[in-house]
A and B are shown apart, each in its own frame.
Chain A
């Protein structure tokens, strides 16, 4: 069911607004942050979904869509909305099934010249160290009781058990361990589905990339240097989330919200995937606690993967990870809802901010930015396509207008089936190897069916 395309009012060259008169029930306008070119490439369902979000009870100011927005379920991917924590709602559709899907970046002191001769060996070692693909099981077995600690403590648990460095914690968003995580709010089914997947990359658009820092792409050379980047350096970036555990948490609570939303809370939404509950209700609070467990699982998952990466590099280069200066630069989540204090019409309010396929981008001085980076702004990791590269950015005060949020690096210009028709996985892999020796089909599945990634 597709609605008519709305009129997009140009606010600036990069902000486009949909008026609340477009759809019955819209409480606020929709705002899309995009260049005209990107706007032209967005699929039209985005408008429908964004304006559906604008009808949710308690939404504040705007329903936002980031430049890489594309259609999702309930919220578009790239959708951002804030609700008052007292009388607003929480919606699993504003977070996504892959809770705490996110990015982590680790640097090395190696250059492309050090790594190139050993690239195949390195890739094979990382592939062996880090389980990937459908059914990839954790190298380290955890009991269900240990898993409950992992989902309550996140990266903190991993570091205490020796799977990381103390400094990794302060270089992870929210210190890799969010509050309000209570395993009692999580179903046994979710635990059974995810307890053997800690430290696994997963499949689909999840990936691990060995990347080359190119001098011509260092826009702010001073900041790059301060954050430990230099020309021709090798860094590793990876993208994954809370795996089957998070998927089950989302599935469980979507079902629960669909049961209680109308009967108990007398709320109606335009799309079942927008099912929601008052944030302060029992169901809303339980979901928040369970979702935060999945957020912690996502951080712990990436922490264990980092451990596998450090071991792999140490093995291939015959030096310890410390000697290789494999410091984590940052870890950032792009699928979650969090309680944050923001200024609303001149007053500070506590909001429950939903970011689905959207990255936090807090500016300098904000408490959400770790002390190490507080003067510079929050590091933002944007994964690009394999051909076009990825970006490390810093949050600015200007991001205040979107609850300090920016893109996450996905976008879709082609459907899965179109991509499969257009590209052959094996040919693409050969072409890429020819162009850039550094890339090998380390996770061949990614080449098999996909040539682009998204959330």
Chain B
């Protein structure tokens, strides 16, 4: 018990192989997530699935190179703000529907021409809603993961400090 332990975010170094593979993979994963979000209204996927994939890119970075590396890219404060902004965007879009065409909450107030069917810019407000949802889900899932691992670090730090204090008292007496 008395051997000093490293904090997990420094200690969790997965070695060169994992780190290198992560460095190669994180871009494609992120890109795939963004693709899923943007094309959610015409292909399988959508805001939720794409958001989870985006979050998993950051989770992979956390697992491979430690918490500090991923929090430099995507800090908790930013994630938590984006979380609120995403859902707020969704609500505002719904509310805009009341003032425009159908005058119903969540009505699709952007009309797209028939010719634009099955292209990226179609489906009215659907792509915007998918983007809002993608932002929300990505930041929320990353936040849940980070906060649950942060619990662990706080506890470890506390334990280490207590151990160090006990050690000091022993050496004093």
Report if A and B associate in a common complex: no
Please give the residue numbers on chain A whose beta carbons come within 8 Å of chain B beta carbons, in ascending order: none
